[in-house]
Amino acid sequence: MTELVIRPLAAGEELLFESLPDSGLVGFAAFGDTYSEMAAAGEYRPEWTWVALRDGVVVARAAWWAGPKDDSPLALDWFDFTDAGAAAQLLRTSPLHAQYSLKLPPGWRDIPAVREQAQARIDAAVAAGLSPLVERFRYRWTPDCGVPVRPGRLEFRPEPDDGAVLDVFRRIHQGSLDAHVRRTIATSGLEAAAQEELDYLRWLPSPREWWRLAYNSAGQLVGLSVPGRHYGDPLIGYIGVVPEHRGHGYAYDLLVEATHKLADEGVDRIVAGTDQTNVPMAAHFARAGYPIAQERIDFPMTLSR
Q: Does the pLDDT at position 305 exceed 80? A: no
Confidence at residue 178, expressed as pLDDT on a 0 to 100 scale: 97
Q: What would the pLDDT profile of 218-232 be if each residue is shown by its tens digit?
A: 999 999 999 999 998
pLDDT at 302: 65
Domains, in order of start, for the chain: 5-130 (3.40.630), 145-299 (3.40.630.30)
Give the integer Cα–Cα distance in Å for 121 and 141. 28
Question: What's the one-letter identity of residue 74?
Answer: L
- Give residues with Cβ within 8 angstroms of 172, minimum separation 6: 223, 224, 240, 241, 242, 243
Residue 8: enclosing H or E segment and its boundaries?
Answer: strand 5-8
- How far is it between the farthest Cα atoms of the chain? 72
> What CA dihedral angle connects 196, 202, 205 and 210, to 10 degrees?
120
Question: Phi and psi for 233 in degrees, rounded to 5?
Answer: -140, 150
The pLDDT-based confidence of 304 (bands split at 50, 70, 90) is very low
Per-state percent for the chain, helix, strand, coil, to nearest 5: 35, 25, 35
* Cβ neighbour number for residue 207 with a 10 Å cutoff: 11
- Please, are residues 76 and 99 in contact by the beta-carbon 8 Å criterion? yes
Average pLDDT, the chain: 96
CB 138 within 8 A of CB 271: yes
Residue 206 has pLDDT above 90, yes or no: yes
- Residue 137: its pLDDT value, please? 98
The answer on pLDDT for 45 being more than 60 is yes
Residue among 27, 30, 109, 105 at smallest CA distance from 63? 27
Picking from 40-44, 69-73, 240-244, which range would have the lowest pLDDT averaged per residue?
Answer: 40-44
Q: Is the model's pLDDT at 171 over the cut of 50?
A: yes
**3 state DSSP class of 155:** strand
How does pLDDT run across 107-144, given as a tens digit for each residue? 999 999 999 999 999 999 999 999 999 999 999 999 99
**141-145 long-range Cβ contacts below 8 angstroms, 24+ apart:** 141/259, 141/269, 141/270, 141/271, 141/272, 141/288, 141/289, 141/290, 141/291, 142/268, 142/269, 142/270, 143/263, 143/268, 145/289, 145/290, 145/291
C-beta separation of 117 from 23 below 8 A = yes
Under 8 Å between Cβ of 245 and 222? yes
Least confident interval from 32-36, 86-90, 219-223, 260-264: 32-36
Give the C-alpha separation, 286 to 143, whole Å.
Answer: 15
